[in-house]
Amino acid sequence: MIDRRNFLINILGFLLLAGSTHLIAQESISGDHVTVRWLAPSSFVDRASEKIGFYFEVDPGWHVYWRNPGDSGAAPRFTITPNGAEVGAIEWPFPSRLKIEHLTNLGYAGNVAYLFDLTPDRGGKVIALSAELEWLVCKIECIPGFGTMTLTRPVSDETRWSSANLDLRNHFAKRVPQSSVYSPWKPISLAAQGKDRIHLLLESETASKAPKVFPINGDLFSASKPKLQREGKTLDYTFGRQPGAALSESADFVLTDGTRAWRLDRVSFGTAMPEAKSRPLWLLVLAALAGGIILNLMPCVFPVLSIKLLGLVNEGYSERGRWREGLLYGAGVLTTFVALGVLLLVLRSWGAAIGWGFQLQSAPVVMALIALFWLMGLSFSGVFEFGHRLVNLAGVSRGGSFATGVLAVFVAAPCTGPFMGVALGTAAVLPAVEALLIFLGLGMGLAAPFVLLCASPVLLKRLPRPGPWMEKLRQFLAFPLYATVIWLLWVLGRILGESGWLIGALLLLAVTFTLWLGYNFSRIGRIIAWILMLTFLVIGYSTLTPKEKTFSKVAAGWQEYDRSLLDQALEEGRPVFIDYTAAWCITCQVNKKLVLDTPEVQRLFHKNKVLLLRADWTRQDPEITEALAALGRNSVPVYAWYPAGSREPQLLPQILQESIIVDLFNEKRKTK
């Protein structure tokens, strides 16, 4: 059966595809979650090329695909049969990376227009198109759609657009990649590295922001976001390679700065890159070493080590004995670092999303540390003489050095110094053996000062002579330990909620009472003390159930980290500041108090309509761990700044100053 419209067109002498005649020919089609209509003028001009297109209106939360759809899905297909005109190839606006569960898709979250050029034939009076469409629209589930659309328009002396349609056409035409001639970034090289990576190096004289890069060949390149490293004017993108995919001669890419896009056609593959790391391993190990040395000065580590060291001098060890203690301490530090490193790597290989400092995300560990620091504090204050039996960890007796080393690592871990952030972040993505080298570097740094002092009589002689002042120093050093207890109680409160404080404080009461019992009464007292202690511990630990809800209180002006909030703001081109923080991270708290939460900085953020997100990593949170990993980090603090209109974050220094924040906005003014 031939419908009336086609019949009329036939009379005019135009032939249409036989296949489309049994469908109701129309200017728009609707499928599940999608409506497609033409973006076209109401009249064309003879032989004047005009860009028109298919406009896909997609339900919120659903998406359609780019020419390379990524890990799943499919690009839409258009078979256009023109009459009285010539049509060009489909032009694809640049896509975005859509993370759908375990996969990355390349497509459009929202409405999109697929465009093409149409040129009416010479002397024609009317053009007619018939287009067969096939598309896939997905949320998590996917629904395919099919349909035929027709377009019949007169050819006159004017191209007449409705202004709404013209705006839409222009909006998407701007997003269609231009020739590489106009690209601010030029390809320098393209090379495979090993079996599973491909590097694309770009260079730009003018542009400062890094563009997003999308490979067109999905058979060769994995769709996931490439890792980006910047070296001066050079940008190094590392793409994943599809397992076992053969290399081609060349590859095509699309670059975008978020508003415009460019094609990089036929970038030839050069010789494969050596497997070497672009950031040499020795440099990372060196940085780890430096970070480790700095750890010695952290408020929780310093008292423990200095008392231990003075003890060694005081006890009158032989040179050999001191040497041995030094080595024992070093062994303790290294073993613990490696053990924690291995645990971290093994857990990661099992898929757990955790990062460095993970041991402080566990309530029992924090609780144990509270008790330990409390006991050490009491001992330093001289409240109890423990006789170097119960707690000889920080004491002076023989054989305790190994344990001192273990302890030093445990308490030092949260105080990730500025040098360690990069090293630990890299360790998380390096192969196991190299990651362990970095952990060992940190350990050696932490152990070095103590071991050196033990080993060198010359250095040791420089230390002040032992005397009664040592007792005073010891008592003084109890106070940083008490401060640490307060801090850890606060951490426990963040993990467990309000009850954390109470449970922690009761534990301290119990410990102190037990000690008093044990010291002031004979054998029976001690036995009762032990029983009491065990009871307290069992009861205490059984109450350690983390609260369900995440911390309801986020400081004014800040919102809890939420991927969708971030995406939405980036989509709107709104600037975003993310504070990756944790209660157990001291640097984070200092930055918060001195810089981020000051009225001046808050006013500045408010004035510039910055979306402030706080990603609290106090307890394990896979989403935040993943977000950190995407930034190449594995520890806090991390400060990510997305300037207005940019989708690439800049990482700010780990030690913030107000001027750094102020500069963010000055810079913005300059570039505008």
Interface mask (CB under 8 A) for another protein, residues 492-521, using x and -?
------------------------------
53 closest CA partner among 70, 36, 68: 36
Q: Which region among 38-46, 98-106, 181-189, 382-390 touches another protein (by CB under 8 A)? A: 98-106
218 binds another protein (CB under 8 A): yes
Q: Which of 75, 267, 367, 477 binds another protein (CB under 8 A)?
A: 75
Q: How far is the CB of 604 from another protein (least distance, A)?
A: 42
Q: How far is the CB of 171 from another protein (least distance, A)?
A: 28
Residues 6+ apart with CB under 8 A from 99: 105
Q: Which of 4, 18, 89, 101 binds another protein (CB under 8 A)?
A: 101
Q: Which of 281, 353, 383, 432 binds another protein (CB under 8 A)?
A: 432
DSSP string, 137-177: EESSSEEEEEEEEEEEEEEES--B--HHHHHHHHHHHHHS-
427 binds another protein (CB under 8 A): no
Contact 322, 401 (CB under 8 A): no
Q: Compare residues 22 and 174 and give the one whose CB is closer to another protein.
A: 22
C-alpha–C-alpha distance, residues 621 and 531, integer Å: 37
Q: Compare residues 103 and 455 and give the one whose CB is closer to another protein.
A: 103
Q: Which of 45, 87, 100, 430 binds another protein (CB under 8 A)?
A: 100
Q: Which region among 131-139, 368-376, 523-531, 579-587 touches another protein (by CB under 8 A)? A: 131-139
C-alpha–C-alpha distance, residues 44 and 126, integer Å: 9
143 binds another protein (CB under 8 A): yes
How would you classify the pairing of strands 261-268 and 559-560? Answer: unpaired
3-class DSSP assignment, residue 115: strand
Dihedral (Cα; 6, 11, 16, 22), 10-degree rounding: 30
Residue written as token pair 């081109």:
573
Q: Which of 11, 433, 524, 556 binds another protein (CB under 8 A)?
A: 433
Q: Compare residues 105 and 581 and give the one whose CB is closer to another protein.
A: 105
Residues numbered 473 to 492 that lie near another protein (CB under 8 A) are none
Which CA distances in Å does 51 have to 58, 113, 157, 464, 536? 22, 11, 17, 84, 77
327 binds another protein (CB under 8 A): yes
205 binds another protein (CB under 8 A): no
Q: How far is the CB of 313 from another protein (least distance, A)?
A: 18
Burial code (b: 16+ CB inside 10 Å, e: under 16) for 534-569 equals: eebbeebeeebeeeeeebeeeeeebeebeeeebbeb
Establish whether the linkage from the previous residue to 187 is cis, with ω within 30° of 0: no
Q: In what order do the strands lie in the sheet with 212-215?
A: 212-215, 250-256, 261-268
Token pair listed for 203: 């260079």
109 binds another protein (CB under 8 A): no
Q: Which region among 68-76, 256-264, 365-373, 469-477 touches another protein (by CB under 8 A)? A: 68-76
Q: Compare residues 415 and 436 and give the one whose CB is closer to another protein.
A: 436
Return the amino acid letter for 180: S
Q: Which of 325, 579, 616, 621 binds another protein (CB under 8 A)?
A: 325
Residue written as token pair 């339900």:
59
* N residues, the chain: 672
Q: Which of 73, 107, 421, 649 binds another protein (CB under 8 A)?
A: 73
C-alpha–C-alpha distance, residues 225 and 240, integer Å: 9
Q: How far is the CB of 332 from another protein (least distance, A)?
A: 7
Which CA distances in Å does 64 have to 221, 275, 515, 647? 20, 37, 68, 21
3-class DSSP assignment, residue 635: coil
Q: Which region among 83-91, 171-179, 327-335, 558-566 touches another protein (by CB under 8 A)? A: 327-335
Token pair listed for 78: 């258009």
3-class DSSP assignment, residue 104: strand
Q: How far is the CB of 33 from another protein (least distance, A)?
A: 14
Q: Compare residues 431 and 599 and give the one whose CB is closer to another protein.
A: 431
Q: Which of 58, 71, 444, 558 binds another protein (CB under 8 A)?
A: 71
280 binds another protein (CB under 8 A): no
Q: Binders of another protein: how many residues, by CB under 8 A?
A: 48
C-alpha–C-alpha distance, residues 379 and 512, integer Å: 11
560 closest CA partner among 491, 626, 621, 641: 621
Q: How far is the CB of 214 from another protein (least distance, A)?
A: 14
How crowded is the C-beta side of 456, counted as CA atoms within 13 Å?
10
Q: Compare residues 144 and 464 and give the one whose CB is closer to another protein.
A: 144
623 binds another protein (CB under 8 A): no
436 binds another protein (CB under 8 A): yes
Token pair listed for 543: 């109450």
Q: How far is the CB of 548 from another protein (least distance, A)?
A: 21
Q: Compare residues 85 and 403 and give the one whose CB is closer to another protein.
A: 403
Contact 488, 370 (CB under 8 A): yes
Q: Which region among 122-130, 335-343, 415-423, 521-529 touches another protein (by CB under 8 A)? A: 335-343
Q: How far is the CB of 252 from another protein (least distance, A)?
A: 15
Neighbours of 364 (CB within 10 A): 11
242 binds another protein (CB under 8 A): yes
429 binds another protein (CB under 8 A): no
331 binds another protein (CB under 8 A): yes
How crowded is the C-beta side of 39, counted as CA atoms within 13 Å?
27
Burial code (b: 16+ CB inside 10 Å, e: under 16) for 614-648 equals: bbbbbbebeebbebbbeebbbbbbbbbbbbbebbe
316 binds another protein (CB under 8 A): no
Q: Which of 17, 74, 109, 660 binds another protein (CB under 8 A)?
A: 74
C-alpha–C-alpha distance, residues 558 and 579, integer Å: 9
19 binds another protein (CB under 8 A): no
Token pair listed for 672: 């505008």
Q: Which region among 45-53, 236-244, 310-318, 558-566 touches another protein (by CB under 8 A)? A: 236-244
Q: How far is the CB of 37 from another protein (least distance, A)?
A: 22
Q: Which of 93, 147, 187, 332 binds another protein (CB under 8 A)?
A: 332
Q: Which of 339, 459, 463, 527 binds another protein (CB under 8 A)?
A: 339
324 binds another protein (CB under 8 A): yes
C-alpha–C-alpha distance, residues 182 and 515, integer Å: 77
Specify the DSSP element, H or E, that contains 537: helix 523-542
Through-space distance between the first and last CA atoms of the chain, rounded to whole angstroms: 61
249 binds another protein (CB under 8 A): no
Interface mask (CB under 8 A) for another protein, residues 342-381, using x and -?
x--xx--x--------------------------------
Q: Which of 4, 122, 195, 389 binds another protein (CB under 8 A)?
A: 195
- Positions touching another protein (CB under 8 A) are 69, 71-75, 77, 100-103, 134, 136, 138, 140-144, 146, 195, 218-219, 242-246, 324-325, 327-328, 331-332, 334-335, 338-339, 342, 345-346, 349, 399, 402, 431-433, 436
